[in-house]
Amino acid sequence: MNYIFIFLILISFICAIFNHSLDVMINDMLKASQRAVEISFGLIGIMAFWLGMVNIAKSSGLMELFSKIIKKPLLIIFPDLKDNDEAFSNVALNISANALGLQNAATPFGIKAMESMQEKNPDKNIATNSMCTFLAINTAGFQIVPAVVIAILSASGMKNPSVIILPTLIVTTIAFLSALFFSKILERYFK
Amino acid sequence: MIKFLNTLSILILPLIISIILIHALINKKPAYEDFTTGAKEGFFVAVKIIPYLVAIMVLTAALRSSGALEILQNFLKPVFDFFKIPIETSLIMFTRSFSGSATLGVLADIINNCGVDSYAAKLAAVITGSSETTFYVASVYFGAVGIKKFRHALLSGILADIIGLIAAIIICPIFF
């Protein structure tokens, strides 16, 4: 990331010299930095509202309830976790927390799940099938409400930012299912 | 059709909020206190992304004003035009698998340049909202337990990213 950052800015300077637009470029860069802070501050309200809501869901036990509901279908996805209840519960809680958009809460569950899968892993260097499936579905980022994106749209003055919820939900579900599909197919070819 | 789908979209949030509140009521939980406790985090989430947003938005501004981005986009333009995808979204398709904060910065940049109600901004929003940074997740979870051979995990994640991207390109015109 460090080299990419330096390289891209230097390339831009060189291009700007050729296009005689160095003054415009510097102005735009300064304006962009200001805009970035304006947008960030615009996020505070919606993020506070949403994180407040999901915290109610977390402490009232709705998150646990959700994780119990998804346990049955999850057992089909993770057959080797049948005897590893700790890993299995943490996988379910991680997916539930992610679905609600509680990324900060989801990561510790995910790491705990990985740790208990690692305990049963015969070769500690090589990921098991369940580990790979769990990682793949996590990278699909399944989320019911994309709160940060809605906040950015709203901070930029969009009247109805919640119109993106349904298309985003459909796309993220497709990505989730294809991550599952690919990890199940590919696990036979990667030993 | 579009109107119906948009109404459905708008109903999701009130529905979830109602479920959360009714569930708290049934379980006799202090909803107001829990709300304010959670809401405190909102400030820090917003402040935490400032440095990343500044870095990426300054960078994309430099790339755009200098004409460097245009050179890059001219290569991709025929392909994007053929599929009727706005060329402005090319950068975000690239960043989404590598960096979440960079993707947010590029999204803010697209909104800033094309307008928040433009099709490019909406497509970029769906692309951002529907994905998690594949490489970051892999390094956090596998790094935490010392896995060295990732086997097919990354490939599955990247293939799913590509499918998600194609899905976004197909589905967004139906909605917007």
**Tens of pLDDT, residues A153-173:** 999 999 999 999 999 999 999
Q: Do B175 and A163 touch (CB under 8 A)?
A: yes
Task: Name the amino acid, one letter, at B79.
Answer: V
ipTM: 0.90
B156/A179 touch (CB, cutoff 8 Å), yes or no: yes
Chain B environment of A84 (Cβ under 8 Å): none
Interface test with B, best of A139, A162, A168, A191 (most B CBs within 10 A): A139
Q: Where residue A100 falls among pLDDT bands split at 50, 70, 90?
A: confident
What is the distance between the alpha carbons of residues A145 and A155, in angstroms, rounded to a whole number?
Answer: 17
Please, which contacts does A34-39 make with residues 24 or more away whose CB atoms are closer than 8 Å? A35/B57, A35/B108, A35/B112, A36/B50, A36/B53, A36/B54, A36/B56, A36/B57, A36/B58, A36/B105, A36/B108, A37/B50, A37/B53, A37/B54, A38/A155, A39/A152, A39/A155, A39/A156, A39/B53, A39/B108
Q: What is the mean pLDDT of residues A29-34?
A: 94
**pLDDT beyond 90 at A21:** no
Report pLDDT for A135: 94
3-state class of B57 per DSSP? helix
Whether A46 sits inside 8 A of B42 (CB atoms) is yes
Question: What is the band of B87 on the pLDDT scale with cuts at 50, 70, 90?
Answer: very high
Torsion angle of alpha carbons A173, A176, A177, A179, nearest 10°?
160
What tens digit of pLDDT does each residue of B132-141 get?
A: 888 888 888 9
Per-residue confidence band for A82, with pLDDT thresholds at 50, 70 and 90: confident
Q: Do A163 and B10 touch (CB under 8 A)?
A: yes
Q: How close A123 comes to chain B (CA, Å)? A: 9
pLDDT at B28: 93
Q: Residue B173: CB partners within 8 Å, gap ≥ 6?
A: B84
The DSSP-derived string for A67-132 is HHHTHHHHHHH-GGGTT-HHHHHHHHHHHHHHHHT-HHHHHHHHHHHHHHHHHT-SSTTB--HHHH
CA distance A106 to chain B (A): 11
Q: How many C-beta neighbours within 10 Å does residue B71 have?
A: 12
Mean pLDDT of chain B: 92
The proportion of chain B whose per-residue pLDDT surpasses 70, expressed as a percent, equals: 100
**Local confidence band at B39 (pLDDT 50, 70, 90 cut-offs):** very high
Is the model's pLDDT at B157 over the cut of 80? yes
Nearest-Cα residue of chain A relative to residue B154: A136
What pLDDT shows up at residue B16?
A: 92
**Nearest chain A residue (CA) to B119:** A164
B9 chain-A contacts, CB cut-off 8 A: 162-167
Of B140, B132, B138, the residue nearest B150 (C-alpha)? B138
Residue B150, Cα to own-chain centre: how many angstroms?
Answer: 25
Task: Determine the average pLDDT of the residues in B143-147.
Answer: 90
Window 86-105 of B, Cβ < 8 Å to A: 99, 104-105
Q: Are the Cβ atoms of A104 and B42 closer than 8 angstroms?
A: no
Q: Between B111, B146, B174, which is nearest A156 by CB? A: B111
HEC string of B86-97 equals CHHHHHHHHHCC
Residue B81's DSSP bridge partners are none
- Check whether A1 has a pLDDT greater than 80: no
Percentages helix, strand, coil for chain A, rounded to the nearest 5?
80, 0, 20
B63·A146 Cβ contact <8 A: no
